[in-house]
Structure 1
Amino acid sequence: MGFPGTWMTESESVIYRVVPKCACSTIGQIMFYSDHGRFFEGDIHDSTARLHKWAQEGSQALIERRVKAQNTYAFTCVRNPYTRILSSFFDKICGIQRNGKRYRGNMVPLLVQKYGIEVGGDDGKAEFDQIQSFRRFLLFARDSIRWRKPMEPDIHWSAMSGHVSTFIANGGRYNKIFYTETFNDGMADVLAAIKTPHKVDLKAIPKFNESEGHGPKRAHPVEDYFDDLSMHLVWEIYKRDFQLFKYDFENPGNKMPIGAIDLDEVHAKLGE
């Protein structure tokens, strides 16, 4: 199994477990900058050198050695499940991707046909009932995660706890898990705990959002997208995320956590 989704600076100063839709572009660029004093030109997900990634064969032995030794600072970042699944819908389902095509080829036409989802026309710019379509997408997300039908679950809407757990199950341990919602505070804690070749001024770092502009803008407050049935589906998919990462399930309009993450609890429950 190894350590999928794990990145490490070339200087081996820090290890990061990527969780999709949780500021991963910004975090990757900060890691790149901390080593090289400049940002990667383009989307950091496209880099193939100067940042170790598990997906790069030449990086795997280095990452595995460091992770298993547990002597390199390791962290990840999480996000409110309600806003994360909404962001996935607007970016991946409604949006046109960087290559000018729909995400995952035939997936969107399949959802239009099987679930009656609208996505704003061929270019994603036409008006459509966002709330109705999002709720139908939630049914698809639940079906793919629960029954792996009509296709395997996607990393962008599969549970955060699943991503976080592979790192623990294969011998890693996190020093820090912080919130996208309080990003600067969390990232500052990480940077304060490690030594980097180049100093990072968080106040001067732009937000790198590879999904920005892909899809239509959200037309309503977050809570308007979630009725009782939608909340039930969200709980079915993300129960563990709410419990471990201390988000407010009862109020979709509250994006902020309602408690502090207990790292010992996370390691105990996700390492089972």
Structure 2
Amino acid sequence: MGFPGTWMTESESVLYRVVPKCACSTIGQILHYSDHGRFYDGDIHDASEGLHKWGQPASRPLIERAVKGHETYAFSCVRNPYARVLSSFFDKICGIQRNGRRYRGKLVPLLVQRYGVDVGGEDGTAPFDQIASFRRFLLFVRDTIRWRKPMDPDIHWSSMSGHLSTFIHNGGRYDRIFWSESFTGGMASVLDAIDTPHRVDLSRIPRFNESEGHGPPRAHPVEDFFDDLSMHLMWEIYHLDFQLFGYDFTRPSQLAPVRGIDLAEVHARLGE
């Protein structure tokens, strides 16, 4: 399996396990800047140079050596599961992607036909019941994760613990996992722990939200999308994310974490 979703600076100053929908575009750009003194011109996910990525064959032996040697600082970033799955819905399901098409081709038509999901018409501009549509999408998410039907789960709504576990299973250890809700402090703690060719002033770093504008604006507070059934599904799908990363399952309105992350517990439970 190796270390899918793992990026490393070319200077080998730091390893980052990407978790989709958790500030990964901004983090990737910060890592690129820390090595080169400039941001990547475009979506950092498309970059084939400037960062080592597990998806690039030439980078794999370098990443594997760094991970297993435990000498390169390794980190990741997580997000409240309620906000994260909502972001996936509005970006990937309701939104038109950068290529001018729907995400994954036949995925949205499948959701419309089988689950009754409404996405605002062909171009996504028609009004629709966001709450009802999202709750139907959540049923689909549960089906993909629990039964891998009608398709395998997508990386954007797979559990964060599932993403992070692959790094641990193959011999990696995290030095830091921080919350996107307190991004500046968390990222600062990483940068303070490593030496980089270029200094990063976080106060001057823009947020690189590559999904911004893909879908319609969310018309309701986060908590309005989650009734009792939706919360039951959220626990079924993401209970480890709530437990390990300090988020309050009982209050969807409480987006900030309510307790700390115990790295020893993360490694013990995700390494099983």
Quickly name the TM-score band, shorter chain normalised. Answer: over 0.9
For 2:168, the aligned partner's letter is I
2:53 maps to: 53
For 2:44, the aligned partner's letter is I
2:144 maps to: 144
Q: Normalised by the size of structure 1, how large is the TM-score?
A: 1.00
| Structure 1 residue ranges, 4+ long, deviating more than 6 angstroms after superposition | none
Provide the secondary structure at the position in 1 that maps to 2:136. helix
Provide the secondary structure at the position in 2 that maps to 1:89. helix
2:38 maps to: 38
Which stretch shifts more, 119-128 or 8-17? 119-128
Provide the secondary structure at the position in 2 that maps to 1:15. strand
Quote how far apart the aligned CAs of 1:50 are: 1.4
Map 1:163-202 onto structure 2 (within 5 A). 163-202=163-202
Q: Normalised by the size of structure 2, how large is the TM-score?
A: 1.00
Quote how far apart the aligned CAs of 1:125 are: 1.3
1:75 maps to: 75
**Cα deviation 1:208-249 (Å, max 9, x = unaligned):** 011000000000000000000000000000000000001000
**Cα deviation 1:64-95 (Å, max 9, x = unaligned):** 00000111000000000000000000000000
1:113 maps to: 113
1:17 maps to: 17
Quote how far apart the aligned CAs of 1:123 are: 1.2
1:220 maps to: 220
RMSD: 0.4
Equivalents in 1 of 2:10, 2:53: separation in Å?
Answer: 10
- The alignment status of 1:90 with 2:90, answered yes or no, reads yes
Provide the secondary structure at the position in 2 that maps to 1:103. coil
For 2:267, the aligned partner's letter is H
Equivalents in 2 of 1:58, 1:147: separation in Å?
Answer: 35
Quote how far apart the aligned CAs of 1:126 are: 1.0
Question: Structure 1: which 5+ runs fail to align?
Answer: none
Question: Structure 2: which 5+ runs fail to align?
Answer: none
Aligned length: 272
Quote how far apart the aligned CAs of 1:146 are: 0.4
1:234 maps to: 234
Equivalents in 1 of 2:142, 2:255: separation in Å?
Answer: 21
Equivalents in 1 of 2:23, 2:122: separation in Å?
Answer: 28
For 2:236, the aligned partner's letter is E
Provide the secondary structure at the position in 2 that maps to 1:145. helix
Quote how far apart the aligned CAs of 1:205 are: 0.2
Equivalents in 1 of 2:109, 2:271: separation in Å?
Answer: 38
Equivalents in 2 of 1:50, 1:214: separation in Å?
Answer: 26
